[in-house]
Chains A and B, each alone.
Chain A
Amino acid sequence: MDSLLSILIWLPILGGGSVLLIGNDRGSLAKWTSAVISVLVFILSLNLFLDFDTSTSAMQFVEKASWISQFNIFYHLGVDGISMPLIILTTFSTILVIIAGWEVIQNRIADYMAAFLMMEGIIIGVFSAMDSMLYYVFWEASLIPMLLIIGVWGGQNRVYAAIKFFLYTFLGSVFMLVSLIYMYNLGGSFAISDMHALPLTLAQQSWIFWAFFLAFAVKVPMFPVHTWLPDAHVQAPTGGSVILAAIMLKMGGYGFFRFSLPITPDASSYFAFVVIVLSLIAIVYIGFVALVQKDMKKLIAYSSISHMGFVTLGVFALFSIMKMDSNGELISIAGASIESAYLGLEGAMIQMVSHGFISAAMFLVVGVLYDRLHSREISTYGGVVNSMPKFTGFAVLFAMANAGLPGTSGFVGEFMVILGALQANFWYAFLAAMTLIVGAAYTLWMVKRVFWGPVNNPEVNSLSDINAREFSILAILAVAVLWMGVYPQPVIEVMHVSIANLLEQALTTKIPGIL
């Protein structure tokens, strides 16, 4: 199909529009329409995987049409090994949230489903845009449905959380807009590939790097601009939390891959240390913050920040592992092998996909409990295993994955990043590996207090175990988590050539006059 990406973008957006027209009064029809559309989009998106050519780093499934001619802005889409897994993650997660909201959402059901469908299309647009202005339009537009999801279907303090979420990310991204315009005025093109090739001095790169950094760091989120995330997660409905954690955070990580490294390679190398320190703070300090949370969603939110620290660590550790010599050959610093540079970047990618599964699963687990007792407080629960044995089985599996148990997807990404970081600097790896202890501590302690132990609350005894709908969502995620844990090879193969290309770009200086 020539226009597969366009279909993937516009089918859910227009589908969402038609679900809006169906209206809240015909909730059942709206739900089924949404479910059909989301499944259809997922099946179509599998074509990206099946027809993907793993031997090239060039963009595939490319579509290009003139859009805003006076600025040379094109409706230009394409995917490579970095964006393709994230698109499939998006279509996959959307099915989950639509099924997860099935009986739970009573209020304005059609609007709810439509918001998630439109969000799906917009985010696929973010991951497939090859023109930076098209990218920016999708990037900003994705805030709108999320704002409404948090604000309309959220918890007690939803208004504060929704507006904080919007303004934080908006502030981050306007600086990216200015730097995109700045580069357009230098190079005369908004195409991302032209920006990759644009020569920039170190001073220019530094400004652009920090402008990008602000946009992506807020989204990831990195310490110290992470404070919107716990609020947004706690207040968002379950589906909103799932999309936020599983996909929207990945938009930040993807930005580092697509923009920061190739466009500002020298500045990235120059400031890599700062990013690594912030990542390590996120991994260790935020892990400790998670330990003391009383609210389950908040705990998982902080654990998300901690896990996303691996993504940025894996990306920026690269500059301590490899450099390019004056002949344009990649050589290692301090005797590391070239594989360890791949380990960092590919580990970061795997970590993004894996975190998409695990965080989605964890938020769904909390959602199952919340739907029953309407409390996210850990202290409300205790001994849930007595009344919900099947559910506890899943919950413990996902908790183990969150703690990074080998055999689950959580282990693979973190282990790869730690191995890569070890080649860069022993202390990076040491501090990052702390998460295996801290992460296990906060996750397992939560499991202990919620699922095991004595029953403190008489209502816990009367809990009904998960129904078929909940079972199926959790089972699908369990399969995904285990599959990625045992056999991540297909995902690595898909991205390998693209990562190699990125590695080359990231280590090639752009400063005119050098080389």
Chain B
Amino acid sequence: MMNFNFNISELVFVMPELFLLAAISSILLFDLYVKEEFKKYTYHLSQAALLVTGLLAFNLIGESATIFSGTFVLDTLGSTFKVFIAGFSIIALVYSRQYLSVHGLLRNEYFILALMSILGMLVMVSGHSLLTLYLGLEIMSLSLYALIATARDRAFAIEAALKYFVLGAIASGLLLYGMSMIYGITGNLDIAQIASFASLATLEPQETLILNFGLVFLVIGVAFKLGAVPFHMWVPDVYQGSPTSVTMFLSTVPKLAAVALLVRLLIDGLSDFQHYWADLFMILAVLSIAVGSLVALTQVNIKRMLAYSTISHIGFVLLGFVTGVLEGYGSAVFYVFAYILMSLAAFGSIIVLNRSGFEADQISDFKGLSKHSPWFALIMLVVMLSMAGVPPFIGFYSKLFILQQVVSEGYVILAVIAVIFAVISAYYYLQIIKTMYFDDADKEIVVSAPFDLKAVLSVNGVLILVIGLMPSYWMNLSVSLF
């Protein structure tokens, strides 16, 4: 049935993926065969591979093609997402290396697994058939499970890896189940074919029902990957148990890939069923914002607190998709970009406080930071205020954009609920500021970071302010993707 044509000239459109795959294989061999003293260069090679992948993807922006018999799509959204995935991953790896080396976890498998999961994300972003999407998702997820377990002598990390694996497998199963329903009724794996089937005016009620049935499972699968309530149970435990560098990676780049999965399945594929999935998203969004804001109030572990904060941010992202208009989708993507930028800086600030034999993961570890290290305290202050949605930082504009879209589609009450919970969540962000600025240090603080980390973290913090002052370009970019 499926007629698979292969045309060699199409390979130019998968250059980023091909290059990354080749790079991963060569780095793996490099690491295997070089002498001990050269092994430290694996990190540099990984960074270089990401940089080149990002540049290749950047080069493809503007190109548009559907290749490999419709299983792989290249469009502006895909290429732009790939550039951001590569860019954010570079930042994440800079922060990771410091954490890993102070805790004796620095093994080169870490970078290879990270690159592998990034490859999965790139495939997901461009997946244009149910099969490709699932393939990308599994490449990503399996690498992430292993990444958590790299801290193999930490009981918490093993627990987190297992929990994530089991629940992730259930979610993948549900997603597959939904995909099989869709395949069963449409007879197609190709997203474009599914879309044209779903848009038929002559759909039998029976067919609509089965499509809807499948749709619910797709939404659950996506919600699980995003960590939206009530499919968020894994998030706090995994965030807390994983090594901080992995938590940072988990909470940032894969969210972008999950949003891409959402766009491919629901917007490219089932946009004719938008009012069905938008209703589901509305419930997920409100629950996520509420639970994320309320439960975070009582946390003392900063990774766990950030986990709940992520859940509430994801609620805002979903609100953008509820609107059902292109600008609304753009606002959701802008929110994800902003969220990742803030989340990276937040975890970067936590990592700066780690030192050999000392795992900084309690809120109280920030006590008195503003006296000891005013610059990093200021960065964390900016990040926290930005997450709380206080202008003039980027977090405010991302909320403003979402709220504007939500109100313009007539959901004023949703906007009111969202801002009330934004005020509630401001309380726990203020707790961090209070700990840094108003409390005195009760133990020794050591800020240990190599120059590259300090520089990248500083730029990251400054970007949160600068994009906040001039958000126009990035908002336009996000909207232009749809």
Contacts and interface: CB of A to CB of B under 8 A. Distances in A.
Partners in one complex: yes
Interface of A: 20, 67-71, 108, 111, 133, 136-137, 140-141, 143-144, 147-148, 151-152, 158-159, 162-163, 166-167, 170-171, 174-175, 177-178, 181-182, 184-185
Contacts of B423: 167, 170-171, 174
A111 B438 CA distance: 13
A151 B432 CA distance: 13
Given A68-B397, A174-B422, A181-B404, 20 more contacts: A20-B374, A67-B472, A69-B476, A70-B479, A133-B400, A136-B391, A140-B391, A141-B390, A147-B433, A158-B438, A162-B434, A163-B430, A163-B434, A166-B426, A166-B430, A171-B420, A174-B420, A178-B407, A181-B400, A181-B403
A140 B396 contact: yes
A111 B378 CA distance: 11
Contacts of B390: 140-141, 143-144, 170
A265 B392 CA distance: 30
A231 B407 CA distance: 36
Contacts of B434: 151, 159, 162-163
Given A144-B385, A147-B433, A68 B472 contact: yes
A185 B397 CA distance: 16
A79 B475 CA distance: 30
B438 A137 contact: no
B404 A71 contact: yes
B234 interface: no
B400 A170 contact: no
Contact of A177 (B419, B438, B475): B419
A175 B370 CA distance: 32
Contacts of B471: 68
A158 B438 CA distance: 8
Given A68-B475, A144-B385, A159-B438, A185 B404 contact: yes
Nearest to B378: A20
Nearest to B472: A68
Contacts, number: 84
30 contacts: A67-B472, A69-B472, A70-B472, A70-B476, A133-B400, A144-B390, A147-B430, A151-B433, A158-B438, A159-B438, A163-B430, A166-B430, A167-B426, A167-B427, A167-B430, A170-B423, A171-B423, A174-B422, A175-B416, A175-B419, A177-B403, A177-B419, A178-B407, A178-B412, A178-B415, A178-B416, A181-B404, A181-B415, A182-B407, A184-B404
A140 B423 CA distance: 12
A137 B476 contact: no
For chain B, give the interface size range: 20 to 34
A68 B473 CA distance: 8
B399 to A, nearest CB: 9
B408 interface: yes
A20 B392 CA distance: 19
Contacts of B475: 68, 70
Contacts of A67: 472
Contacts of B438: 151-152, 158-159, 162
B437 interface: yes
B310 to A, nearest CB: 21
B12 to A, nearest CB: 34
A162 B385 CA distance: 15
Contacts of A177: 400, 403, 419
Contacts of A151: 433-434, 437-438
A177 B403 CA distance: 9
B277 to A, nearest CB: 24
Contacts of A144: 385, 390
Nearest to A171: B423
4 interchain residue pairs of minimum CB distance: A174-B419, A137-B391, A151-B438, A185-B408
Contacts of A171: 420, 423
Given A171-B423, A174-B423, A137 B396 contact: yes
A152 B381 CA distance: 14
Given A70-B475, A181-B407, A152 B419 contact: no
Contacts of B415: 178, 181
A181 B385 CA distance: 21
A162 B370 CA distance: 17
A509 to B, nearest CB: 24
Interface string B462-482: 000000000110011001000
Contacts of A133: 400
